[in-house]
Amino acid sequence: MLAKKLPARLLASWAFWLSLLVLASLRVVEVEGPESRRLILLGPWQEVRVEFVNSVTGKPVLLEFHPLWAFQGFRAFTDPETEAYYTGGEYPWNERLARERRKELRYCSEVGLALALGGRWFQAVGGCLRVRLLWPP
């Protein structure tokens, strides 16, 4: 009788641990825009992108990062003039961004911005998008 229960117990144990692992690897992100609020499920290594045009230089800016334990692993892509606008030419932008860890981000733009999360795009023109990592706490 014990021999018949053992495989069922092992299977239940593996299912429990696998379920726990899957739950631990999910990221719950809230996106709030001018007209809506949505919850998105992401994996910790999925890329998040923010795209906008700098209103002073008129050049495009792309930010990429991941929702690992916080929003982190930031990288910025733009031209040297726009990078100097943000840094005053005083420091390497990507080195500083790489150290950032945030649970909440807010991006605002008068001319428009786009945010990509898990294959979904959100846009704001003349407004802001707020992104909060709700899980893990």
pLDDT tens per residue across span 45-86: 899 999 999 989 999 999 999 998 999 999 999 999 999 999
What one-letter code names the amino acid at 27?
R
* pLDDT surpassing 80 at residue 92: yes
Percent of the chain with pLDDT over 90: 66
pTM > 0.85: no
* pLDDT surpassing 90 at residue 110: no
Question: What confidence tier does 35 reach under pLDDT thresholds 50, 70, 90?
Answer: confident
Per-residue pLDDT, 11: 62
Per-residue pLDDT, 17: 74
Which residue, 69, 76, 135, 80, is CA-closest to 107? 76
Question: If you average pLDDT over residues 84-109, what whole number do you get?
Answer: 93
Which residue, 70, 78, 80, is CA-closest to 100? 70
Q: What is the mean pLDDT of the chain?
A: 89
* pLDDT surpassing 60 at residue 103: yes
What letter does residue 45 receive in the DSSP assignment?
T
H/E stretch holding 3 reads helix 2-25
* Chain centroid to CA 26: 12
